[in-house]
A and B are shown apart, each in its own frame.
Chain A
Amino acid sequence: MAIAIVDYGMGNLHSVSKAVERLGYEAIVTGDAETILSSDGVLLPGVGAFGDAMSHLRETKLDAVVTQAAGKGLPLLGICLGMQLLFDSSEEHGRHEGLGLLPGRVERFAGDSGLKVPHMGWNRLEFLQQNHPILKGLTEGHVYFVHSYHVLTGRPGDLLAVTDYGHPVTAIVGHNNVYGMQFHPEKSGELGMALLRNFLELAVRG
């Protein structure tokens, strides 16, 4: 079982790749189209700014590869900024088009409720679809978030889990084979690893 971790020059992929290996899967950090398309599952990580990330994806033509991977039914998981990139658009430093694999947009935390921005630290997940394969067998708990922007999904049924930060914040989304986690599962202790394991098991089943 080979999991492709898309390397498009945004941030450190060491932790996420090690987490995949600890769960017993082969992790391939790669920017190669064929390697990605012949893998069993694809992780799209990301830290930094939305616009920069999309430019990098376009320059490396990996935007089309990720879209193609999703189109051929490969399990795809976007992590943190990687999840935000799956959506239509973001208002981070201007307006930017995303990959448009999931309907919705990304906007900044208002910061008017006296809550600090970025939303950084351990916050509690609330599962909205406990029987979903990504959440099965798991108990609600805390995971590690670092973000200043959050997703407003255009399709309520895609929302699998939220967290409370002044209002319900999109934490896990999923539609068919395309998933996103706003927090860092590879930095979220046992629960994070269990969520990642559930995703990887989807890849096993193909």
Chain B
Amino acid sequence: MLAKRIIPCLDVKDGRVVKGVNFVNLRDAGDPVELAALYDREGADEIVFLDISASNEGRATMIEVVRQTAGEIAIPFTVGGGISQVEDMKRILRAGADKIGINTAAVLNPELISDGARRFGSQCIVVAVDAKFNPAWGEWEVYTHGGRKATGIKALEWIKEAEARGAGEILLTSMDADGTKDGFDLPLTKAVSAAAGIPVIASGGAGKPDDFYEVFTKGAADAALAATIFHYKEIAVPDLKRDLRARGVEVR
């Protein structure tokens, strides 16, 4: 059986980690390479870098971050943010990333999923979906542009299309749960896990170890992603894994 994965996410802008990171034992807490290496040592199963650079220079810096990270860590890592062309994917994968996350660009141009999967293999293509409950529909709607723009697309339908086009994984962020620390969005995660034949990474809302237990058991997620609670040491990866293991969840 596959182990459930714990994935810290680092927001990186112009080569530096943003969202205040609070590690005392790091030489440079703003260095994404050093932080990724620390999470690797702590037993994180994967790392996600979200590049929020707005400039071309910032994106170019990210390539260097990827190259250095690939030399420093011994776990897979994903890079997302602002990737809209197969050539972007190629550059990042060649620099040593294992997977590419695509979000808005995939909604605007679903061919990007098919092209990327054909060229690099499905295992490289992670489709990130920001979803919010639409009461009028009684189900979830896809948002793009960092959650600012409603698309009118039903999340479950979009996820099925992404899979059919060759996505290897779904990184599912609940906009309703994100930032609340009240736990992952279990109904959304469960619905997506049931609809998808590919692994689902749940994101948004993690506040305590029990939230991870719930999303793996009730939400049927394959992996869970969080940012601030790890960065601020509210939850340490080794403690979280010990807790999950004690409760019968298979973790590494």
* Residue A146 interfacial (CB < 8 Å): yes
Which A residues are CB-close (under 8 A) to B123? Answer: 118, 120, 146
Q: Which of A65-118 contact B (CB under 8 A)?
A: 116, 118
Q: Which of A163-183 contact B (CB under 8 A)?
A: 164-165
A15 to B71, CA, bound (A): 6
Supposing A118-B122, A122-B3, A189-B43 touch, asked if A141 and B252 sit within 8 A by C-beta, the answer is yes
Contact B96–A14 (Cβ < 8 Å): yes
Q: Interface majority SS on B: helix, strand, loop or mixed?
A: loop
Q: Mark B139-150, 1 if CB is under 8 A from A, else 0.
A: 000000000000
A164 to B95, CA, bound (A): 32
Across the two chains, which residue of chain A brings its CB closest to B196?
A: A116
Expressed in whole angstroms, the minimum distance between the Cβ of B177 and any Cβ of chain A is 24
| Count: A-B pairs, CB below 8 Å | 76
Expressed in whole angstroms, the minimum distance between the Cβ of B143 and any Cβ of chain A is 27
Q: Which of A183-206 contact B (CB under 8 A)?
A: 184, 186-190, 192-193
Supposing A141-B252, A142-B252, A189-B40 touch, asked if A14 and B70 sit within 8 A by C-beta, the answer is yes
Q: Which of B15-37 contact A (CB under 8 A)?
A: none
Contact B75–A144 (Cβ < 8 Å): yes
Contact A116–B199 (Cβ < 8 Å): yes
A15 to B3, CA, bound (A): 23
* Residue B187 interfacial (CB < 8 Å): no
* Residue A123 interfacial (CB < 8 Å): yes
A83 to B197, CA, bound (A): 27
Q: Mark A115-141, 1 if CB is under 8 A from B, else 0.
A: 010111111100000000000000001
Which B residues are CB-close (under 8 A) to A186? Answer: 74
Which A residues are CB-close (under 8 A) to B5? Answer: 121-122
* Residue A47 interfacial (CB < 8 Å): yes
Across the two chains, which residue of chain B brings its CB closest to A186?
A: B74
Which B residues are CB-close (under 8 A) to A164? Answer: 1
Which A residues are CB-close (under 8 A) to B121? Answer: 47-48
Supposing A14-B96, A120-B123 touch, asked if A187 and B74 sit within 8 A by C-beta, the answer is yes
Which A residues are CB-close (under 8 A) to B250? Answer: 124
* Residue B181 interfacial (CB < 8 Å): no
* Residue B198 interfacial (CB < 8 Å): yes
A95 to B134, CA, bound (A): 49
Which B residues are CB-close (under 8 A) to A22? Answer: 71
Q: Mark B36-58, 1 if CB is under 8 A from A, else 0.
A: 00001001010000000000000
The residue that B3 contacts in the complex, of A48, A118, A123, A193, with Cβ under 8 A, is A123
Which B residues are CB-close (under 8 A) to A122? Answer: 2-3, 5, 45, 252
Expressed in whole angstroms, the minimum distance between the Cβ of A12 and any Cβ of chain B is 6
Contact B3–A124 (Cβ < 8 Å): yes
The residue that B199 contacts in the complex, of A14, A121, A123, A142, with Cβ under 8 A, is A121
Instruction: Beyond the given A123-B1, A123-B2, please list 13 additional residue pairs across the A-B interface where CB-CB is below 8 A.
Output: A14-B67, A14-B71, A14-B95, A18-B96, A119-B2, A120-B123, A120-B168, A120-B199, A122-B2, A122-B3, A122-B45, A142-B252, A165-B2
The 3 closest A-B pairs by CB, nearest first: A142-B252, A18-B71, A122-B3
> Contact residues of B with A, CB < 8 Å?
1-3, 5, 40, 43, 45, 67, 70-72, 74-76, 93-96, 98, 121-123, 168-169, 197-199, 222-223, 250, 252
Please name 14 pairs of A and B residues whose Cβ atoms are closer than 8 Å in the assembled complex, sorted by A. A12-B94, A14-B70, A14-B71, A18-B96, A21-B71, A120-B123, A120-B168, A120-B169, A121-B3, A122-B2, A123-B1, A186-B74, A187-B75, A189-B40
